[in-house]
Each structure stands twice: as structure tokens, then as C-alpha cells.
Amino acid sequence: MVNLKDLNPDASLEAAYGARLRSAREERGWRQDDLAGRIGYTGRHVSGVETCHKSPTRKFSIAVDVALGFVGSTESFEREWRKIKHGVLLQGFPEYVGLEGRAAEIRLFEVGVIPGLLQTREYAQALADGAVDRGVITREQADERVSFLMTRQEALLRDVPPVLIAVLDESCILRPVGGPDVMDAQLQYLIDFAAQPHTTLQIAPFSIGERRPFNRSVNLLTLQDRSVVSYVESETQGLLDRELSSVLPLVRAYHQLQNVSLSQTDSVDVFHRHRKGTP
């Protein structure tokens, strides 16, 4: 049995969660099996969460809150879980997602991978599985990442959906993800997406060369009050920006990108050719 003194809550958010869970349990005089019986898990599972051998899930956290009387309080373990979940996301991204779900217009540019809002579940799962294989995230975090993405997509299914404009670097469709069947379904999804009345989809072909203004992911939101927010992402950093002086140059560059990209009709033709294996 690992003692409380062996836990280091400063090591990570999960370590802090585990240490606090053990403290709350022991304050009530409960053994791990006692808590497990109250939340529908095994004592081994509770031990794994306390010692960071298992990652907590939302379901587990809600059950703990009910058992400890923490539901809706500042001590909520579900709230703690959300910090862990957002901890695997880049800075600024959780706030961006909240704004995205209320935006009047969304403009996206992506390099190398289909943008999240346009991914099929199978494509998203393949990317998450790859991250697990590389040891970047755990299996539970991969499942939560895909679920989180599906929730983002569902938030845009409104009575009056946002205008959604996406420009994809040609590399997005040339990079095979998940195998031929997954890519074929993903390309068909893009074709269907482009046919909707509130969407625009374009490919930025390699042939535009130095005229492509962006070298990384760019997201622009026009909110209901007509203000514009940008979110720019690299492999390790994310920046949410509301300052007009820095957002407007991105808006101008995005218009320039659209001007040199293929039309939507030509872009859809490219998707069809790739589905037939004749790019």
C-alpha cells in the first residue's frame, strides 16, 4: 500500500487529483474498497487513480463527487478533471472552443491534417490512436479527445448555423490517415460539407508557392457583435487574440489566401479525383 507521504501533488495535475482524492477518502475513514463500493469501481481502480497509474475520467469524477457530496462545489472532482483534460490542450484553446460554439462566422486554415471541425470520427480516432502509439497521450485521453471534438462539431448544429469557411493546404488531402477506407470516407465528407448552403471549402494548392501567407493553423471567429477573434496554433503553442491591431492583418491575409486558392468547384473536383485514385 502506498502511503500519502509517497504522493507528490506538485508533480502534475493528475498527481494533485490523486493526492486530494486520497486525502478526502481518508478524512472520512474510508478504505479504497469503501469508496469503490460507493462509486461503482474496484478498489484497484481507486488505487490506480490515487497513484497516477490510471487517469481519472469524467464518469469517475462525477461518481466521486456524488459520494463525497462535492457536486457543483468548488471542491468538485469533475472540475478538477476538466483542468486535467484541458491540460492536454494548448493554451487558449478551451476559451477559443467556447467562443467557436457561439460564433456567427468561422474561418479556418490548416496544413497537413484535415481541420477538426471537418474530420470524420474515424479520421479523428486514427489521429488519436497515432498519438497513443507514440506515447503522447493515454488511451483514455485519446477517447476523450475524440469525444471532445464530436461535441465541438455538434455545437455548430443550430437552427441558424454559423457561416463556415475552410481553406485546406493541399497536404491535408495528400497525407493518408487511417488507411484507404478512412480517407475515402473523409473525402466524401468534405464533398458533402462543400454542398451545404452556409459553407465554403477551398484547397490551397502547392503551386501557389510563396503566395501562401500562413505556415501554421489559423482560426478566425466573427462573433455575434461582429468583433473578430483569432486563434493561431503551432505544434506546442496556441494564442487567442482579441486585439484588433493584430487580428486584422490575419483577416487580410486570409482574404489573400482565398484569392490564390482553388475555387470551391475546382476543389471539389480535386476531392473526387483523389477518391478515384487519379489526383
Q: Where are the domains of the chain?
A: 4-87, 93-275
**Range in 77-81, 124-128, 226-230 the model is least confident about:** 77-81
Residue 91: pLDDT band with limits 50, 70, 90: low
- What is the model's pLDDT at position 236? 57
pLDDT at 92 over 80: no
Question: CA 60, CA 261: separation in Å to the nearest integer?
Answer: 47
pLDDT at res. 88? 52
Q: What is the DSSP string of 74-102?
A: TT-HHHHHHHHHHHTSPTTHHHHHHHHTT
Confidence of residue 1 (pLDDT cuts 50, 70, 90): very low
Q: Give the pLDDT score at 155.
A: 85
CATH class of 93-275: alpha beta
Q: What share of the chain is helix, strand, coil (3-state, %, to 5)?
A: 55, 15, 35
Q: What is the mean pLDDT of residues 155-167?
A: 93
The CA angle 187-189-190, to the nearest 5 degrees, is 65
Helix H, strand E, coil C: the string for 143-194 is HHHHHHHHHHHHCCCCCCCCEEEEEEECHHHHCCCCCHHHHHHHHHHHHHHH
pLDDT at 196 over 70: yes
Could you say which architecture CATH assigns to the domain 4-87?
A: Orthogonal Bundle (1.10)
Q: Which residue has the higher pLDDT, 94 or 100?
A: 100
Rounded to an integer, what distance in angstroms lies between the CA atom of residue 275 and that of residue 183?
8
